């Protein structure tokens, strides 16, 4: 096969075609999944992204922001059943791309902590005016009754 | 001609190769709770280096969660892999496997 000058342009055209064809393509790099809780109603989700040009990336601290963002969505509970996904999106082949990390989990509030909060709230609301102004015995009776009703 | 034949033969031999990209294992429950093993997987084709979405990961998790609606899923093994079939044809797959532990965490309550 003899070399022809137009082969060079063919290679360039193929490379350009490949870069156009893979533009905005997203590839999954890594996936992890932790134990899933029993209660799975409230979903919390966080995402971080870093655009990289010509491979210049000077730190990898941006995924740590996922933790703060998840905590802010679940301030009084625990985030469990976490699915973490690390992906790469190509924008122009090897010149410009982005790395994204997605974390999705479930916010689970421990019933004991929630029970204590409800007990305090119900006690405050159930105190009669006489109890609020008067004897300590009435207060203790009201509080005891509230706790007995609410505890499992 | 010989070079092209050798290249084609090599690519043909490499078809069906499976590559693991990521793997993770979560806390494994006690032996008495490892009674019900559940599995789920989802995949997407990658044709000529063009993928068709990454939502298959969430689909696999939903499929796994549906098999254990009233229990906790522990001992999760998640494996991300790709299978190459021929030039430019591959499949990206996620496999999830875990134990469904029922009647756990009665004190847990969601917001």
Verify whether the Cβ–Cβ distance B111 to A76 is below 8 Å.
yes
Chain B residues with beta carbon closer than 8 angstroms to that of A40: 65, 110
The CB-side HSE value for A127 (13 A sphere, CA atoms) comes to 18
Cα separation of B23 and B35, whole Å?
Answer: 23
Q: Please report the number of interchain residue pairs, chain A to chain B, with beta-carbon separation below 8 angstroms.
A: 113
What's the predicted TM-score (pTM) here?
0.69
Gap from A57 CA to chain B (nearest CA, Å): 22
The nearest alpha carbon in chain B to A90 belongs to B50
Confidence of residue A130 (pLDDT cuts 50, 70, 90): low
Residues of B in contact with A112 (CB under 8 A): 107
- The CA-CA-CA angle for residues A6, A7, A11, to 5°, reads 120
| CB-nearest partner of A108 from B65, B104, B110 | B110
What is the DSSP annotation of A86-135?
EEEEEEETTTEEEEEEEEEEEEEEEHHHHHHHHHHHHHHHH--HHHHHS-
Asked if A71 is an interface residue toward chain B (Cβ–Cβ < 8 A), one would say no
Q: Contact A42/B111, CB-based, under 8 Å?
A: yes
If you measure CA to CA, which chain A residue comes closest to B104? Answer: A38
Among A44-48, A107-111, A113-117, B35-39, the range scoring the smallest mean pLDDT is A113-117
Would you call A31 and B80 a contact, using CB atoms and an 8 Å cutoff?
yes
Are A145 and A123 in contact by the 8 Å Cβ rule? The answer is: no
| pLDDT value of position A129 | 54
Please report which confidence band the pLDDT of residue A146 belongs to, taking 50, 70 and 90 as the band edges.
very low
**Measured between CA atoms, how close is B28 to chain A, in angstroms?**
9
The answer to whether B54 and B44 have CB atoms below 8 angstroms apart is: yes
Interface probe with B: pick from A14, A15, A35, most Cβ of B within 10 Å: A35
pLDDT tens-place string over residues B67-105: 999 999 999 999 999 998 877 788 999 999 999 998 764
> Which tokens sit at B5?
């034949």
A77 touches chain B (CB under 8 A): yes
Q: Is the pLDDT of residue A83 over 60?
A: yes
pLDDT at B49: 80
- ipTM summary value: 0.76
């Amino acid at each position: 096969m003899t070399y022809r000058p137009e082969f060079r342009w063919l290679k360039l055209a193929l490379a350009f075609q490949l870069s156009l064809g893979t533009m905005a393509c997203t590839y999954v790099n890594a996936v992890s999944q932790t134990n899933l809780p029993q209660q799975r109603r409230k979903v919390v989700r966080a995402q971080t992204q870093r655009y990289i040009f010509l491979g210049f990336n000077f730190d990898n601290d941006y995924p740590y922001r996922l933790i703060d963002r998840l905590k802010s969505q679940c301030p009084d509970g625990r985030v469990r059943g976490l699915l973490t996904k690390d992906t790469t999106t190509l924008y122009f082949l090897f010149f410009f791309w982005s790395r994204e990390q997605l974390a999705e989990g479930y916010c689970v509030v421990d019933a004991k902590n929630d029970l204590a909060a409800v007990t305090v709230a119900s006690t405050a609301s159930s105190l009669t005016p006489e109890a609020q102004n008067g004897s300590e015995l009435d207060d203790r009776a009201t509080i005891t009754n509230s706790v007995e009703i609410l505890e499992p | 001609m010989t070079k092209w034949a050798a290249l084609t033969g090599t690519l043909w031999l490499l078809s069906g190769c499976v590559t693991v990209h990521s793997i993770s294992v979560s806390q494994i429950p006690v032996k008495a709770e490892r009674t019900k093993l559940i599995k789920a997987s989802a995949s997407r084709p990658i044709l000529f280096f063009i993928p068709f979405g990454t939502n298959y990961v969430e689909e696999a998790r939903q499929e796994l969660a549906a098999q254990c609606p009233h229990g906790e899923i522990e001992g999760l093994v998640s494996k991300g892999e790709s299978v190459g079939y021929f030039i430019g044809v591959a499949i990206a797959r996620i496999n999830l496997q875990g134990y469904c532990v029922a009647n756990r965490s009665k004190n847990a309550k969601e917001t």
